[in-house]
Amino acid sequence: YPGFSMSLSRFFLILIPPFLRRYPGFSLPLSRFFLVLIPLFPAAKPRLDSEGCPGQQNWTEGQEGILACKAKGKPKPEVKCSKDGNSITAGTPYPADRAQAGTYRCRATNALGTAERDVTVWVQC
């Protein structure tokens, strides 16, 4: 399909004739049918829950700390977290020190919307 970038394997394809009555001996070219694509997997707004993005996380000073925050949704949401205006990539290891302790605001975004969650990181000796 020209200009269509998604894989058609994710859709259920229906061809609908332009009329519902039957005319014996009359055939239509395929171009006269309406094409309907129904997604097999419905879209969903982003969701940040305690399973994928715990609200309290403990790091140990001197070791690597990873801000765990995964969002659910379709299409897959993009997750961005920040603390005091500084961005941090969720899931990436950082050297843990007391400067990293505090509250992070994580935001998950996809085409259907946005979800936010505060995550408190404690850094212990």
Question: pLDDT band for position 38 (50/70/90)?
Answer: confident
pLDDT at residue 23 in the model: 56
Q: Do residues 100 and 94 touch, judged by C-beta distance below 8 A? A: yes
How many angstroms separate the CA atoms of 79 and 73, rounded? 11
Q: 1: pLDDT confidence band, cut at 50, 70 and 90?
A: very low
Q: What percent of the chain has a predicted confidence (pLDDT) above 70? A: 74
Q: What's the pTM?
A: 0.67
Which residue spans of the chain are classified as CATH 2.60.40.10? Answer: 44-124
CA dihedral 22, 27, 28, 29 (to 10 degrees): 160
Fold of 44-124: Immunoglobulin-like (2.60.40)
DSSP symbols for 77-125:
PEEEEEETTEEE-TT-EEE--GGG-EEEEEEEEETTEEEEEEEEEEEE-
Q: What is the mean pLDDT of residues 79-89?
A: 94
Q: Which residues pair with 87 in a beta bridge?
A: 82
